[in-house]
Amino acid sequence: MSELDKYIIGQHDAKRNVAIALRNRIRRLMVKSDLQKDIVPNNILMIGSTGVGKTEIARRLAKIAQAPFTKVEASKFTEVGYVGRDVESMVRDLVEQAVTLVKEAKNEEVREKAAVLVEDVLLDILIPPVKGASVGTIPPSMQAGFNPDLASEQELNERTRDKFREKLRKGELEDRKVEISVKQSPSAGIGMIGNGMMDEASMAGLQDMLNNMMPKRTKKRKVSIREARKLLMEEEASKLIDFDEVKEEAIRLAENNGIIFIDEIDKIVSKSGRGGSGPDVSREGVQRDLLPIVEGSAVNTKYGMVHTDHVLFIAAGAFHVSKPSDLIPELQGRFPIRVELSSLTQEDFYRILKEPKNALTKQYAALFEAEEVYLEFSDEAIQELAALAFRINEEVENIGARRLHTVMSHLLSDFLFEVPDTIGANSRIMITREMVNDRLSSLVKNRDLSQYIL
């Protein structure tokens, strides 16, 4: 909860419920009996207008838990049989995220070994090894005994390699250009096979199989040693990683720790309540397709079967036109915890600009500081910004905290353009209440203009 407080202002009930959901996952894994399999997460339905923090709460939860997270929009899905994305694609996206997380962790584990291998590859490019005449099956190290000239040449080569190894480790050769062979990623060639003949997972699996059968193509590139090290690091690390183990761990991570955030769930509610005709039938069809995924089922992915029984689903919607009770009863039951997020007040805007670890004022200050210009905001200026943003939301359209982005962007656009040419290094910019009023108040008063600019 305290970690969420560092980034999200207010919305205590929502943060409390997701914190409980996260802790329950840890508790479930600590249960020793067979009961562990039967303990399923309580999915959450967040109700609130745009910009109040629904997505941010779910995303921050995933980062804190170091869990695979995917966000989907319910309105993008279509019922099985219609053209469009099917609901199972959200699980496939989740597994892709899990694979990425596991690969990153594995890369960190083998980083030291890979660094040694990369160093040897770079040395071979800079100082090629001595190629002596082959003497039967005798290894090169023993061939020196038959050829004194070869021995001295090898000794000189080793000394030179040691000197260059030292230079590489000190970073003295980072800008030197070298030619390396880089594996080319295979081009997608079977997209046309789809067309209803096979599902997305089968098509992806077939693509991978064909890619593995085809010879790996390499391309010569001339790059700096700095860039070559990065490219070779990826290549050498991938050789040290067992990808079958990565797949197993990724599936396990997705099944036990995965979080799927379904946004705009109110858009698949029938406008006329339950039932209906025309597009309402398709909306209800999407709801029915969601049921088995949310309840717990096996989904085929290119990495293997994934069970969704213990995946945490967080759905969100504004529900301006419809109500949560307009969802089909079966789907309502799959989201037992409902949280209503309150609209943001002027005081909330003030705190959002000032308190979070990643507050907008701090972000812009960091951008200016990158060019050695120091940006500061007076407390009165922040209060005025909050008041103006709140007022625009009241008069034009309530888009929540997102309004702060447009207000801040318009306020600082001139400074962002003038740095560093007109406003040089080591300059200091102080944003005051008067400056905020001068740059924004006329736009706020002109309602027609503010609809287009702010």
d(CA 181, CA 220): 5
- Shared-domain flag, residues 222 and 251: no
- Shared-domain flag, residues 410 and 436: yes
45-54, 197-206, 216-225: least confidently modelled range: 197-206
Is residue 145 one of the residues assigned to a domain?
Answer: no
Across the chain, mean pLDDT equals 83
- Shared-domain flag, residues 257 and 325: yes
Of 240, 262, 282, the residue at which a domain comes to its end is: 240
pLDDT of residue 215: 62
pLDDT of residue 90: 93
* pLDDT > 70 fraction of the chain, expressed in percent and rounded: 81
CATH of the domain at 50: 3.40.50.300
pTM for the full model?
A: 0.78
> Is the peptide bond between 420 and the residue preceding it cis, with omega within 30 degrees of 0?
yes
d(CA 450, CA 440): 10
Is residue 418 one of the residues assigned to a domain?
Answer: yes
Is residue 85 one of the residues assigned to a domain?
Answer: yes
pLDDT of residue 86: 84
- Shared-domain flag, residues 374 and 294: no
Whether the CB-CB separation of 100 and 249 falls below 8 Å is answered with no
Query: Which is higher by pLDDT, 82 or 70?
Result: 70
140-144, 191-195, 363-367: least confidently modelled range: 191-195
Is residue 19 one of the residues assigned to a domain?
Answer: yes
pLDDT of residue 135: 46
- Shared-domain flag, residues 327 and 384: no
54-63, 102-111, 185-194, 426-435: least confidently modelled range: 185-194
pLDDT of residue 172: 83
Candidates 104, 11, 97; CA nearest to 62 is 97
42-56, 158-172, 362-376: least confidently modelled range: 158-172
pLDDT of residue 383: 95
d(CA 59, CA 72): 12
Residue 33 pairs with which residues in a beta bridge? none
Query: Which is higher by pLDDT, 379 or 450?
Result: 379
Structure confidence by residue, pLDDT tens digits, 74-96 = 888 876 656 567 889 999 999 99
- Shared-domain flag, residues 435 and 366: yes
Classified as helix, coil or strand, 115 is: helix
- Shared-domain flag, residues 287 and 232: no
Give 135-190 as a DSSP string: -TT--HHHHTTT-HHHHHHHHHHHHHHHHHHHHHHHTTTTT-EEEEEEEPPPPP--
pLDDT of residue 212: 61
Q: How many domains does the chain have?
A: 3
- Shared-domain flag, residues 202 and 273: no
pLDDT of residue 132: 55
The stretch 362-383 carries a mean pLDDT of 94
Is residue 27 one of the residues assigned to a domain?
Answer: yes
Is pLDDT above 50 for 190?
no
Instruction: Give buried/exposed letters for 71-88 (b at 16+ CB in 10 A, else e).
Output: bbebeebbbeeeeeebbb
Our separate counts of H helices and E strands in the chain read: 19, 11
Is residue 143 one of the residues assigned to a domain?
Answer: no
The stretch 33-55 carries a mean pLDDT of 88
- Shared-domain flag, residues 396 and 418: yes
- Shared-domain flag, residues 254 and 321: yes
The stretch 56-70 carries a mean pLDDT of 88
Q: Where are the alpha helices (DSSP H) in 31-68?
A: 54-65
Of 206, 240, 274, the residue at which a domain comes to its end is: 240
The stretch 217-234 carries a mean pLDDT of 84
Structure confidence by residue, pLDDT tens digits, 295-343 = 999 999 999 999 999 999 999 998 888 888 888 999 999 999 999 998 8
Structure confidence by residue, pLDDT tens digits, 104-163 = 999 988 988 988 888 888 888 888 877 654 444 555 555 555 556 656 777 887 888 888
Query: What residues make up the domain containing 412?
Result: 346-442
* pLDDT > 90 fraction of the chain, expressed in percent and rounded: 33
- Shared-domain flag, residues 223 and 292: no
For 260, which DSSP code?
A: E
CATH of the domain at 370: 1.10.8.60
Is residue 432 one of the residues assigned to a domain?
Answer: yes
pLDDT of residue 234: 85
- Shared-domain flag, residues 252 and 223: no
Whether the CB-CB separation of 26 and 41 falls below 8 Å is answered with no
Is residue 140 one of the residues assigned to a domain?
Answer: no
The stretch 433-445 carries a mean pLDDT of 83
Is pLDDT above 50 for 192?
no
Of 340, 358, 384, the residue at which a domain comes to its end is: 340
